[in-house]
Amino acid sequence: MTDPDTAPAMDLAALRAAIAENDARPEGPARNARAEALLVEAEKLGLPLAVIEALGHQLQVYCYSSEKDRMFVPFARLLRMWDERPEDFDAYETHSLHWAFKWMSSGMLDQPHVPLDSIEQWLGEMEHRYRVAGFSERAVRAGEHSVALHIGDLERAERAHRAWRAADRDRMSDCHACELHDQAWFKAYRRQDAQALELWRPVLDGEYTCAHEPHASLAASLMSLVRLGRLDEARANHLRGLRLVRETESMREAYAQHVEFCTLTGNEARALELLAERPAYFTDSGHPRSQLGFLGVVAQLMGRLTELGLGDQSVPGPAGRGWTARELAGHARAQALAIGARFDARNRTTHIGDELRERMARRPLVARLPLGVRAGRLPPVPAPRSAPDPTTARVPDAGGSDRGGTLDGLLAEARQRTQDRHPTAQDAWAAVAEAAGAQGVVLPDRDRAEIADHEAMGGGDPALFERAAELYEAAGAPDEAVEARARGVYTRALRASGAAPDGSAEDLAEPTRRAVARYEESGTGARHAASMLLYLARTLLVAVGREEQRAADPTAAPPPDGDPAAAERAARNAAQRLLELAERHPDDPRLVSRAAAARAMLGELAAHRGDAEAAVDLFTGAWQGYVAAGTPWFAAEPASRLAALARHLDDLDLAHRAARAALAHGGPLLPPVHQAQLHLQLAESLARSGDLPGACEHALEAAHWSDESGAGPALGAWARHQLGGLLLQLGRYAEAAEVLEAALLDLTEEAHGDGTLVQTRWWLGDCLRELGNHRDAAEQWLLAAETARTWPEQRDHAMLAHMAAEALGHAGLAAEADRAYERAGELWRPLGNPHGLVRSLRSRAWLMVDEDAGHLAGAGLDEARELMEAALFECERALAAARNAAPEEVGEGARERLVSESAQTRRQFGELLVRSQDGIPEGDPAVRAAYEEALEHVGRAVDDYASLGPAALDSRTAAELHAGWLLSYLGRRDRAEARARSVLLAHRGSSDETGSARTAAAEELLAHLAGRD
C-alpha cells in the first residue's frame, strides 16, 4: 500500500476514490485523520468542487465519530463558500450542504458551550434557507422538537412533534428509520411504551434501515420491553443490537443503554464486561451529551454493585489507575453531574440534572433475565451475621408456613419440617441453634441431638453424627441413635477415595439385622427397620460404584471375595427387602416414601446391568411414590434419571414429562447444576420433537443455571452450543452468533470433543454469512475445516473448504477464494463427489473473469475457459461411469442429477463467455465469436434439460430464453422467436411465480424482436 505522505498529488478522480475508500473505514480517529489529509490534497488541485467534496467528507466523518465537536469548522467554511459562489456546488453537494444543517442544529444542542440563543437563531436560519430552497418545514420542526425536549419544555415539544409529523416529507426529511426512532423515543420518554414499540416495529423488523438503524432503536427499545414484561424480545434486541453498536464508535449512548439494560435485569457481571470493552468511552469528551449519558449509567451500575455489598470490587474505569465500584460510583456521579450542570446553566433549567439523578437512582426492574451468553459471576457477598432478636427471628419459608418470633416458634417449625422430611429442616434447626445460643438457653438433649444430626447431614461430618447419637441416647431415643450412626457410616463410605473397600457395609450389617429381626418378631419398629435397610442399601450402592471404578482401572487389585458382582447382589437384596417391608404399610407416608427410595435404588441397579425397561418402570414408581408420600421434593432425582433414560430410549414424550416433573418437584431446592442438567435434557428432547422455541427457552435456562453453579466453562458451554444452534434454526442469526461466540470461549476438544467445536464454528459461519459478514464467516469455516482435516471421513472437511471459498469470494478476496476452491476440489475428487468437484471448478472459472479479481496473476478468459472445460470433462467422466455401473451402485436419480449438473455447467459456460465481453465494442469480431460459442453451450444445455422431462422444465425454459437472446444478438430472428414461443407453450396455463416470470420474459423477447423489424 502506498504511503499517503509520499504518494504523488491526486487528480479529482483519485481524490474521489480515496474519499470513497475512507468513507468505508470503521468510525474513529484514523478515519478522521485521513479525511483531514484528503482535504490538504484537495486544496492542492485548485478546484473549488474538490475542496467542497473533501470538506463534506470531513464533516461527515466528524459527525459519525467521538469528535463531533470538530464538525462546525468545515461546515462554516462550506457555508461561506456557498454564500460566495453557489455555482461551485454541483447538485449532490448542494443537497449535502442543506442536509448538514440538521447535523449542525443537533450538534450545537449536544455542546453545552454553545448558547441556547445561538441554537434558536440557528433553527431560524435553517428554516429560512430551507424555505428559500423550496424544502418542507418537516426537518425544521423535528429540530425544534429536539430543542424543546432537551430543555424540558414538553408543551412546545408536543406542538413541534405534531407539526413535524403533519409536514410533508421531502428530500431534507430524515430517513424513515431515523424519524421512526425519534418519534418512538418520544413516546417511550413519556412511558407510552406500547405505542413506542409499535412505532419502532418497522425499524426493528428491518423494513427501514440506515447507517445507524436499527442499531439505535434496538438499544432504545430495551427498557420499554422490560417495563412491559416482554422479556424474550428484550433479550433478543440486546443480543442483536449489541453486535451492531460494538464497532460503531459514535454510538456511545446506545452502548450505554445496553449497559443499563444489563444493570437493571440482574446481569451486573455482563454490564461490567461491556464497560471493560470500551475504555475510551469514559473520557472521550468530543460529544458531552453522550458522555453524560454514559457516565450516568456507569454511576447507576456502580451504585447497584455497592448496594449489593460489592463496593470494594475491582471494576473497569478510566485508564491510569485501578478502581473499586465505590470509587468509580463517586467519580462517575461527580463527572456526570458536572456535565449536566453545564447543560442546565446553558439551558437555564434544571431538567438535564433532574433526569440524570433519576437515571442514576434506577434499580432493577426484574430480578434476573438470563441472556444465554457467557458472563463472569459477581463474587458472593457474605451476609452480615448478628445475634438474632428472639422476638423477630424467622427461618426460611418452606412452602406456606410462617412460624417465627420466639424460640418456641422456631422449635415448632423445626420439628414440623423434620416430621415432613422437608429439605429445609436443616435451616430450621440451624435457626434454633442460633437463637438459643444468643439467648443463652440450654436446650434438652433431644433438641440438641436434632441440631447436631441436621448439621451433620448438611456438612457430611461423620464425627457430628456420633455426637448426635450420644445425645439421642442421653434423651432416651436408642433407635434414633442407631440411625444417626448409620448415617455416619454411609457418609464415611461416600467420602472414601479410590476403589478400595472401606468396610462400611459390614459395619451396618449387624444393627440392620437386629432392627429387622425385632420388626419381624414383634411387629414394632417398622420405620426403624426400614431406615436401617435404606442406609445399608445406599452404602452397598456406593460399593457398586467402587466396583465400576475398579473395572475401569486395569491396575486395580481384584475384589476381596473374588466376585465383582457381589456388591450389586447385596445392594439389590437390601433394596428389595426394604421395598417388601415398606409395602406392608401403605397407610404410613414415611414408609411409602421409603418404598419409593427402594424403587429408585433398584432402578439404578437395573440401569447398571443394562435392563432399561425395568429401570424405566422402577424410576417411574419411585417418582410417583414420593409424590404419594407427600414428599415431592425427593421425586426430582428419580424423575431426572427417568428423563435421561427415556431420552436414550427415544421415548421423547416420557423424557419431556419426567424432566418437567423433576423441575416442578425440585424447584428452588435443586442445586443449580442439577437445574442446568434438567433444562438441557428438556431442550434436547423438545428439539428432537420439533418444538424449537420451547427448546430455546430451556437451553437458555440451562446456560444460566450452569453459570450460577460455576459449571459455565463445561456444561454452560455445551448449553450455549445447543442454544446457538436452535436460534440459527429459527432464523435468529444475530442472537445465535452472539451465543455461539460466547460458547467458543469455553469449548475445548478435551472437554467437549472436536466434533462440537467444528459444529459450533460451522453454525457461527452460517450466522455470519446470513448477517452479510462473509469474511468472518470464511474465517470460522476455515478454522472448522482445519480441525476436520484429520478426520477419517473427509466430507465435512471438503464442505467447509467449499463454503469458505464461497464466503471469501463474496468478501472480495478473489485470490484467497481461488485457493480455497482449489483445495475443495482436491478433497471432492477422492470422495467420489463429482458435483462438489464440478462446482468448485465452475466457481474458480467465474473468479478468473470477475472484475474484482484483477490481482489474480494471469486471470482472464483463457484460464476461465480451461476451468469450465475441466468441469465439463468431469461431468462426462462421471456420467460415463454411472452409465456403466449397475443401478444399485449409483443410487436412484444419480444419472439424472449428473445430466442436470452437466447442463448447468454448459449454461454457466455460455453466461461466462457473454459476461467476459462486457466493455468490448459491440462490433468487435471477438464479441460475435464469443456469442457463437456461448450459443453452442447454452443450446446443448437446453437439450440436456429437455432429456430430463418435466422435472427440469424451469431450468430448460430459463436456458431457452438465454439462447433466444443470444440468437437475437446474432441476428437469427426466426430461431430466437421459436425459442420464445417454445417457452410460452411450456408455461401455458401456469399460474405459479416461476411460470409467470418465464412467460413475461418470453413476451419481452418477442417484443424486442418485433421492435427490431
- Whether 146 shows a pLDDT value over 60: the answer reads yes
Give the residue, 765 or 64, on which the prediction is more confident.
765
Query: What is the per-residue pLDDT across 746-755, written as a single tens digit (0 to 9) for each?
Result: 999 999 999 9
pLDDT at 461: 78
Q: What is the pLDDT of residue 147?
A: 94
Contact 223, 231 (CB under 8 A): no
Q: How far apart are CA 291 and CA 69, in angstroms?
A: 13
Query: Distances from the Cα of 717 to the Cαs of 10, 190, 419, 713, 744, in angstroms?
Result: 53, 41, 41, 6, 7
How many of the other CB atoms lie within 10 Å of CB of 169?
A: 12
| Cell 459519525 belongs to residue | 64
Q: Write down the H helix ranges in 440-525.
A: 445-459, 462-474, 478-495, 504-522
Nearest CA-CA partner of 647 in 680, 684, 677:
684
Per-residue pLDDT at 447 exceeds 70: yes
657-671: average pLDDT: 89
- Give the residue-averaged pLDDT of 290-307: 96
| Model pLDDT for residues 732-748, shown as the tens digit of each residue | 999 999 999 999 999 99
Q: What is the pLDDT of residues 403-414, one digit of tens each?
A: 445 888 999 999
Q: For residues 255 and 275, what is the distance between their CA atoms, to the nearest angstrom?
A: 9
Q: What mean pLDDT is predicted for residues 668-694?
A: 90
Give the pLDDT confidence score for residue 1013 in this predicted structure.
55
**Residue carrying C-alpha cell 437463637:** 435
**Given pLDDT bands bounded at 50, 70 and 90, which one contains residue 420?**
confident
Return the pLDDT at 859: 61
The strand pair at 323-324 and 393-394 is best described as: unpaired
The percentage of residues in the chain with a pLDDT greater than 70, rounded to a whole number, is: 92
Q: What is the pLDDT of residue 549?
A: 58
Residue partners of 1001: CB distance under 8 A and separation at least 6:
961, 983
Q: Output the pLDDT for position 392.
A: 41
Mean residue pLDDT of the chain comes to: 89
560, pLDDT greater than 60: no
Looking at residue 399, its pLDDT comes to 45
In this model, does residue 833 exceed pLDDT 70?
A: yes
Residues 6+ apart with CB under 8 A from 581: 516, 519, 526, 529, 530, 533, 591, 594
Residue 69 has pLDDT above 90, yes or no: no
Note the pLDDT tens digit of each residue in 332-374. Answer: 999 999 999 999 999 999 999 999 999 999 999 999 899 999 8
Which of 86, 84, 119 has the alpha carbon at shortest distance from 101? 119
**pLDDT at residue number 390:** 38
Q: Residue 458: its pLDDT value, please?
A: 83
State the Cα–Cα distance between residues 480 and 525, nearest whole angstrom.
11
For the stretch 461-498, pLDDT in tens is 788 999 999 999 999 999 999 999 999 999 888 877 54
Residue 290 grid coordinates: 453522550
With a cut of 50, say whether residue 887 has pLDDT above it.
Answer: yes
| 792 has a pLDDT exceeding 90 | yes
| pLDDT bracket for residue 558 (50, 70, 90) | low
pLDDT at 855: 46
Residue 1 pLDDT grade (very low, low, confident, very high; cuts 50, 70, 90): very low
Whether the predicted pLDDT of 854 surpasses 60: no
* pLDDT category of residue 720 using cuts at 50, 70 and 90: very high
pLDDT at res. 985: 94
396: pLDDT confidence band, cut at 50, 70 and 90?
very low
DSSP 629-689: TT-GGGGHHHHHHHHHHHHHTT-HHHHHHHHHHHHHHHGGGS-HHHHHHHHHHHHHHHHHH
Q: What separation in angstroms does the CA of 688 have from each of 398, 651, 683, 685?
A: 36, 11, 9, 5
Q: 188: Cβ–Cβ under 8 A, 6 or more apart, which residues?
A: 196, 220, 221, 223, 224
pLDDT digits (tens, 9 = 90+) for 614-625: 999 999 999 999
Average pLDDT over residues 104-125: 88
Give the pLDDT confidence of 820-830 residue by residue, as tens digits. Answer: 999 999 999 99
